[in-house]
Chains A and B, each alone.
Chain A
Amino acid sequence: MTFDVKKQAPNIIVWVLLLTLPLWIEHAGSYIQLGTQVVVMALGAMALNFLLGYTGVLSFGHAAYFGLGAYGAGLTLRYLAPSTGSAIVVGVLAGMVAAAVIGPLIVRLRGVYFAMVTIAFGQVFYFVAFRWNAVTGGDDGLTNWKRQPLHVGPMTFDIQSNATNFYFFVLAIFALAVAVMAFLLRSPFGRTLIAIRENERRTRFMGINVNLHIWLSWMISCTFMALAGTLYALLNNFVDPRALFWTQSGTFVIICVMGGMRSFWGPLVGAAIFVWLQDYLSSLTPNWQSFVGLVFVAVVLFFPRGVLGILRRRALE
């Protein structure tokens, strides 16, 4: 195996930028928590893109699994154990189990119908979090807990009060998750998913049980989404039902599309743009919602391939 610099250039650029982020983010007029949020949202969007961009299945209800991860982590720290590690494990399991159960109900559906049903199922979790006041804190959110310092053997990493350490913690998990997803997409199984996206009928007539593969892809996607959710909860030391609300799902979809659904790093680029833009616009004008809406419309009408899609096309020409 030789190291192909040309091929690796995108990866190198992405990782150099992410690893040096704490050095330049404040000079760029931003702040480290926003950088952490970009990485968290990017992980969520890349998880969604596993299903959306690489399996071609349109879920509009992924916020539910994001929120389940977040609540799983928050509830663990609040009630079970003061351990960041277990919080993440519980959150991820919560998302995975829910996805496994709901999967069989929806894998038979396609297109807008699939989208609508995923939204509606997502709302179940929203209402549970919203109404089960005694446990989840209801609309007020789940409070009175904090992410805990990380103990690895005799060493302790202070990710609790040190924002930069927490950033690197999130980045490490992001790297691991992204590596697993990339590895899966390059495997024979991953290629069957791409085959389903490209042509479901052809794939079925290759002897693939399409529904089973979509279910697996759905579960993988939701599991990583839940992982992103746990990090989101840890970032804010807070969870509320809005993390589960269906409009949050729309945000993830637009992030994927904006960055470029067909590019591996597209969702990361999309997350960087979206998070920054929303932060910027909402400081600038109380009518930021209109601008966010306009961004949606503009992306759909003029940049359906997303930033990386456009760049790639131009490069090909």
Chain B
Amino acid sequence: MSFLNIDNVSKHFGSLVAVDGVSMKVEKGECRAVIGPNGAGKTTFFNLITGMLPPTKGSVSLDGQNLAGVDPSQRVKLGMARTFQITEIFPELTVRENIRIPVEIAAGLRLKPWMPAGMAGQIRDRVEQLLDEGGLTRIADRFAGELSHGDQRACEIMMALALKPRLLLLDEPTAGMGDDETHAIARLIKRIHRESHMTIVLIEHDMRVVFNLADRITVLAEGRPLAEGTPAEITANEKVQAAYLGDAA
């Protein structure tokens, strides 16, 4: 049994079929990229994994546990954390507070109306550690809403990591960024993957990023699985070239 096991999921919106019978197996510690042309159903597919949408058919299981009927917040507790295509952070709070909130949640304090004795230092250290890892220490006291696009994205990724997930889902982490920012984010993801052996699934448009990061790649087109394989296999796949790389290149 794979760590993340997606079995034949479909999603229909009325007569529109956004995702049609997609299966995917991701092993522990793997970095998987999901690619595909616009409208391929990637984000819908992501939303089926994270529980934002219920699948019309098929099932998703994490580490052997079937996730049918498990709502997004409970999936997070099972170790699933994600970022969004449009960065979702706490704009009116400082970066440090943005990180501090998920750290406290991960420490099991979500409903604590007081800070338990002895926890304060532990929390503070963990926040500083994450700020440092994400390269955010220099901007820790600025409001998240004022940051550059790249810094906001880094902040969001560190917020997801603060939850100590077993599976990290990144929806187009470099969307809308310049070369420098893209490079920095890719480096950050790579380091996370290498240092913590985190299982990562990411949707990405930028092929340089994909081939740089991914162990394996799944290609979707018009809601259907088109191909799956290592970067080298995908590059060589003619169907993929026809459907995707051809017009992307």
Contact = CB atoms under 8 A, between A and B. Distances in A.
Interface of A: 183-184, 187-192, 194-195, 198-199, 201-202, 204-210, 213, 216, 262
B110 A192 contact: yes
Contact of A207 (B74, B89, B115): B74
Interface in B88-129: 88-93, 97, 100-102, 104-105, 109-115
Contact of A188 (B77, B81, B84, B109): B109
The 10 residue pairs across chains A and B that have the minimum distance between CB atoms = A207-B76, A198-B90, A188-B109, A202-B88, A188-B104, A188-B112, A187-B113, A207-B77, A189-B113, A195-B101
A182 to B, nearest CB: 12
B101 to A, nearest CB: 5
13 contacts: A189-B113, A191-B100, A192-B105, A192-B110, A194-B93, A198-B90, A198-B91, A198-B92, A206-B105, A207-B73, A208-B110, A209-B73, A262-B92
B82 interface: yes
B88 A201 contact: yes
Nearest to B102: A206
A42 to B, nearest CB: 23
A206 B92 contact: no
B54 to A, nearest CB: 15
A208 B113 contact: no
Given A189-B113, A190-B113, A206-B76, 12 more contacts: A187-B115, A188-B109, A191-B104, A192-B110, A194-B101, A198-B89, A201-B88, A202-B156, A206-B81, A207-B76, A207-B163, A208-B105
B159 interface: yes
B50 interface: yes
B72 interface: yes
Contacts of B90: 194-195, 198-199, 202
Contact of A191 (B50, B82, B97): B97
A262 B77 CA distance: 31
Contacts, number: 81
Main secondary structure on A side of the interface with B: helix
A314 B168 CA distance: 41
A4 B122 CA distance: 24
B119 to A, nearest CB: 9
Contacts of A210: 73
Given A199-B90, A199-B91, A206 B101 contact: yes
Contacts of B97: 191
Contacts of A207: 73-74, 76-77, 105, 110, 163
B115 A188 contact: yes
A189 B111 contact: yes
Contacts of A201: 84, 88
B101 A205 contact: no
A290 B115 CA distance: 48
B113 A205 contact: no
A201 B115 CA distance: 25
Contacts of B88: 199, 201-202, 205
Interface string B157-179: 00100010000000000000000
Contacts of A199: 88-91
Nearest to A198: B90
Interface centre among A190, A199, A262 (most CB of B within 10 A): A199
Contacts of A209: 73
Interface centre among A184, A201, A207, A208 (most CB of B within 10 A): A207
A208 B163 CA distance: 11
A89 B193 CA distance: 56
B180 to A, nearest CB: 26
B50 A205 contact: yes
Contacts of B73: 204-210
A206 B73 CA distance: 7
A309 to B, nearest CB: 12
B184 to A, nearest CB: 22
Contacts of A194: 90, 93, 101
Contacts of B104: 188, 191
A89 to B, nearest CB: 21
B101 A189 contact: no
A30 to B, nearest CB: 36
B60 to A, nearest CB: 16
Contacts of B92: 198, 262
A196 to B, nearest CB: 10
A205 B110 contact: no
Contacts of B82: 205
Contacts of B91: 198-199
Contacts of B76: 205-207
Contacts of A188: 104-105, 109-110, 112, 115
Contact of B81 (A187, A190, A205): A205
Interface centre among B77, B92, B105 (most CB of A within 10 A): B105
Nearest to A216: B111
A275 B239 CA distance: 73
A204 B93 contact: no
A189 B84 CA distance: 24
